[in-house]
Each structure stands twice: as structure tokens, then as C-alpha cells.
Structure 1
């Protein structure tokens, strides 16, 4: 059966089955759950669904928005709507300093990492400046692919002074848990967020096409005594994150 045949309203639309947008949403969900529509497959355009079902564009749009809100489909500007591959959609606050592991646990998502590299190294000029390192000091580096529900979400490359993290191998999941045990968990941070198009190397790690939208975030974190404890450069999937900040009138 084709999706066009599946959406024929004679077999599923009824006057006693709730609002029409809800009936359409359920029908589209059924097409995905049954495997008729596979992950990453494009859905018919709104106007095509309206023509197939006899519903208004407003009704179709409301049903589609419900599916977007539930993470069942994703909408890509200029390309249309697609069945989600299961990648979580995360709303990240810019006003709280938390770890990736803590964020995912709070949302009921499983988290894990794939190591891309770690160890002690001579600092680059950028690291030496960001971490205020003296000549001859080493830097601890942690490069990780962060996963939520087994879907790649972000590439994170953290640099710390070696006296703060003398053995990078002790970090197994959460860096902030390790720092907290040592009394070195940062209390504040400054972040810089930039929009980018992912290059091939980063796109391959994140499981998306090269050139798609992403976010580059540089974070400098501080202890209570104002010492820099962490300099992190991360690449986030643009389709998986919304960053939210609360603003107040001063």
C-alpha cells in the first residue's frame, strides 16, 4: 500500500472520532509505526495531504505541528517534512551550567560517549591563552562524541589545566562529576555560540549530511576564585538542539 492510498479518508475519517486534525495525526502516526513510512523518508507536502484527504491546509498544518512537537517528524527549511530517525530534540537552557550527562538524565534519556581521544599534551597557543597556562605546563584534553538514546548529538573537545585533571583516563562519563569530587567543579561560564555548516568530518561523526546546519559553542568555565578550569569547543547538531535564554528587563 502506498502512503497516498493509506491517507484515503474513506477508510479512517469519521464524524465521531474526534477533531479532524487529531484523526489525521493518528493516521500519519500509524503509517510510521507500521513501517509504511520509514525513518528519514519525506512525507507528502501539506498541499498534497490536503488534496488527498479533503482537509484544509490549516487542519493539515496543525496535525503536522503536533507530530513535530512529539519528535515523530522533523521539518527542514526548503526541503519539507521527514520521518524522524529517533534523534531526540533537546531544549537547552543558557542560564544553567550543567553537564551533558545531567541534562540527558533529567530528560529521561540514556546517555553515553564514544571517545575520540584523551591524554596530556603540550598546549596550543589558544589553550595556553584561554587557560592562562605558564610555560612548560601541560593540558588535559578530552575529545568525545556525546550520544543520547544512542543517537549522536554533539562533538565535545574539552581542555583543562593538568593540575586540575592530572589523569584524563579517570573520566568515564561525566567530567563535572570528576571535577566535583575534587572540589573543582566550575561555578560560572561564558559561552559563545556561532552558526556553522558542518564539514564532512564532523558531519560523518554526527550522522548527518555535510553542509547541514550546526552550532559551534566555545565555553570558558571558572571556579569561584575566578580561575579558568575548562575551555571547551563543541559542535552540536542543528536539528537536535534549541538553546533557550530567559531575559529580564533590568
Structure 2
């Protein structure tokens, strides 16, 4: 029996949900695998906005799982904000979020940029304190042997949507008390007269680990933008190294290029 799904071509109706498309032995509970599969299909556009999913009973039949399994996977996608259940109508893929664009030519903190966009930023502190530096932190900040680094690890939100994971590291004379950092690191640095004035950034694409994916409400292995930023004060001293993972489904970085006048 072919159960038509509104918004999908007929030939795609069954294949996307059949167990051979998403279930793998020893890859976790069925509801988690189905959740990750549907989440990835939505992110990739295989389930476009306004696509109506089959009713719970029909989806369980196609996927060869129990209705409880379907219910748990769909409930998590609703909680993630990618599906919505409309009373009397069914379950639909929500319209894609509008992307946030950030210029690469301006040195702004996450909080400053969200303020400019009229959005409310917040942070969940995952860890902060004084630590032995990693090789990347030692090289980027020019630390000497035996020095510790002040590190603040945060999950960053805009209007309650998790957008980024950031690991910010600074020399201890620049940030002696990491506990002072809440939402905005740069507010703390400005208050002490130690805010950077320029930065160098390197952008790469990476795939999320299971732990990071859970925090960002994305499927494991989803592609995100990783940005490594080293920021400097006017003297040229590097005083901040931040590594961030940014959701590529709702975050764009924009660079303006100019043609230099011929000499």
C-alpha cells in the first residue's frame, strides 16, 4: 500500500521512511536512529517545509517500528523546533529559520552582534576556570611553560535558540577571574580596559560529535562551521583565543571583498 505524503513526490513516499534507509544494528535505540535520520532529512531538504508526515500509525507501519518509537522520535523533533503538530491537521515540517548573517570584517562579540540584530542573547556556562593550556592555546596566546590559561566554555543562544558552542581562552593576567564572565566576555574585558581591537579568524567545516550535537539540537555528524579566532590588543599582543562551532543551518558569515586600485 502506498500512503501519499503531502509535499513529497509519490516515488519518495515510502523509501525515506523504510528501515533500510535509517536503521543500523548496534547504532543505538531505534527511536534515536529514526530521530537522527528525520532530522538530517529535514536539514538536507529531503523533507521540505510544509511537508506533512504520515500519521503515527502509518509511519510506524512503513518504518517497521512501534508507535511508541515513532512518538518518541517525533516528539523530540517537535521539541527541537523543526516539526509542528497542528491540531486536527497532522504533523508538518516547520518553515526553515531565517539565517543570521555576520560580517567577517567587523570585530564583534556574539552578544554585541545579537544586540545589533535586536535579538536577546544568553549563555549557558558549561565550564570555566584556570587550566593547563592546550598546544593550540599555548601557541595562539604566546604562553610560557608552566603558565595557566583562563578558559570559559559556553553554549550561546539567540532568542532561546542554541546557535553556537564557544571555548574562549585568555592569559590569566587578562582574565584573572573566569567566574566573572556570564553572557558577554567582551563586556568584562571592556570594563577592565583590555578589550581586543583586531582579530584573525580561520573558518573550516567540521562534523559534530554526539555530545556537541546534543547541545546544539542537531543530529550527530551534522556539518557546522568551526571558527578559530585569535584577538589582539593595539600593542600586538594576542589576548584571546576562541574556538567556536556555529550552526550552519541558521548562521552565515559574510565577507565583503574590494578590488584594490592599481598602483
TM-score normalised by the chain length of structure 2:
0.65
The Cα shift of 1:88 comes to: 5.7
Q: Displacement of 1:76 after TM fit?
A: 3.9
Q: Which runs of 5+ in 1 are unaligned?
A: 5-41, 49-73
What is the aligned partner in structure 2 of residue 25 from structure 1? none
Pairing partner for 2:102 from 77, 92, 96: 92
2:48 aligned partner: 81
Tell me the residue number matched to 1:173: 183
Q: Aligned residue for 1:44?
A: 7
- Mapped pair 1:129 → 2:139: yes
Task: Tell me the residue number matched to 1:182.
Answer: 192
Aligned length: 184
- Structure 1 partner of 2:72: none
Cα distance in 1 for partners of 2:45, 2:98 equals 22
What does 1:110-129 align with in structure 2 at a 5 Å threshold?
110-129=120-139
Structure 2 contact 124–155 (Cα < 8 Å) conserved: yes
Is the 1:88–1:148 contact (alpha carbons within 8 Å) kept by the matching residues of 2?
A: no
Cα RMSD, aligned residues only: 2.2
* Preserved CA contact (<8 Å) 1:158 1:231: yes
Do the aligned partners of 1:123 and 1:139 also contact (CA within 8 Å) in 2? yes
Shift of 1:102: 1.1
Closer/same/farther in 2, CA of residues 87 and 139 from structure 1, 3 Å limit: farther
Mark the CA change 1:44 to 1:180 in structure 2 (over 3 Å): closer, same or farther: same
User: Which residue of 146, 152, 156 corresponds with 2:166?
Assistant: 156
Question: Which residue of structure 1 aligns with residue 68 of structure 2?
Answer: none
Deviation (angstroms), 1:201? 1.1
Provide the rounded CA distance (Å) in 2 between the counterparts of 1:43 and 1:182.
58
Q: Aligned-pair distance for 1:122?
A: 1.7
Aligned to 1:202: 212
d(CA) in 2 for partners of 1:179, 1:170: 10
What stretches of structure 2 of length at least 5 have no aligned partner?
11-40, 50-92
CA contact (8 A) 1:43 1:81 kept: no
TM-score, normalising length from structure 1? 0.68
**1:31-84, Cα deviation, whole Å (9 max, x unpaired):** xxxxxxxxxxx9714x78xxxxxxxxxxxxxxxxxxxxxxxxx97445142344
Give the C-alpha shift of residue 136 in structure 1. Answer: 2.2
